[in-house]
Amino acid sequence: MIRLLLGGTRSGKSALGEALLAAGPPPHRVVATGQALDFAFRERISAHKRARDTRAAVIETGAGAMDVLAREAAKGGTILLDSLDFWLFACHGRIGDRHAELARGFAPYAGPYGPELIVISAETGLGPVAPDAATRQFVDALGALNQAAAALAQDVRLIAAGLSVQLKGNAP
């Protein structure tokens, strides 16, 4: 099963992702895509690490996240991908079809008997249009990627103010 959790900054999507990871079948793994480029972001990543269950293995991947997902599926259990937006950011400047990579990475989780994949991503389409071309290009690419992920997912939720709204599916 693929679960997609969408929300803004500090919306509660990571907390829900952690709770779903803990409730899913073991083994538990976190595929982390964020790369700390400044002190404040290093602190944010550290806070996420402290909040995670220490029994969950953390695999730091950056742009290689979809290869890791494809490889880790054979181990079963539950995987938390944190996050799709930072994976896209890590892929900046790389040649390739992100939608094809996403489909390949998600494929082993799509079946009813596959392992569980929980995907966190920022929902960027709720704010004003960015004034610069680079930000607009990233937001457009992420919006298209979120739509592709939602099409593949059986459970899609929007998280705001710590509250989850079911957009697709009826998973608990």
If you average pLDDT over every residue of the chain, what do you get?
90
141-150 confidence digits (pLDDT tens):
999 999 999 9
- How far, in Å, CA of 115 to CA of 133, rounded? 39
- Residue 48 annotated in active site: yes
Ramachandran quadrant class, 161 (left: phi over 0; alpha: psi -120 to 50; beta: rest)? left
> Which residue matches tokens 């895509």?
33
The pLDDT of residue 93 is 84
CA-closest candidate to residue 148, choices 111, 112, 116, 107: 107
91-109 confidence digits (pLDDT tens):
988 889 999 999 999 999 9
26-50 confidence digits (pLDDT tens):
999 999 997 766 666 667 666 766 7
pTM > 0.75: yes
- How far, in Å, CA of 144 to CA of 136, rounded? 12
> Which residue matches tokens 């004003």?
128
Q: Give the DSSP letter string of the chain.
A: -EEEEEE-TTSSHHHHHHHHHHHSPSSEEEEE-----SHHHHHHHHHHHHHS-TTSEEEE-GGGHHHHHHHHGGG-SEEEEE-HHHHHHHTTT--S-HHHHHHHHHGGGSSTTSPEEEEEEE--TTSPPPSSHHHHHHHHHHHHHHHHHHHH-SEEEEEETTEEEEEE----
Question: What domains can you pick out in the chain, each with its CATH number?
Answer: 2-163 (3.40.50.300)
- Pairwise pLDDT comparison (54 vs 25), residue with the higher score: 25
Annotated catalytic residue within 28, 48, 92, 99: 48
- How far, in Å, CA of 49 to CA of 32, rounded? 10
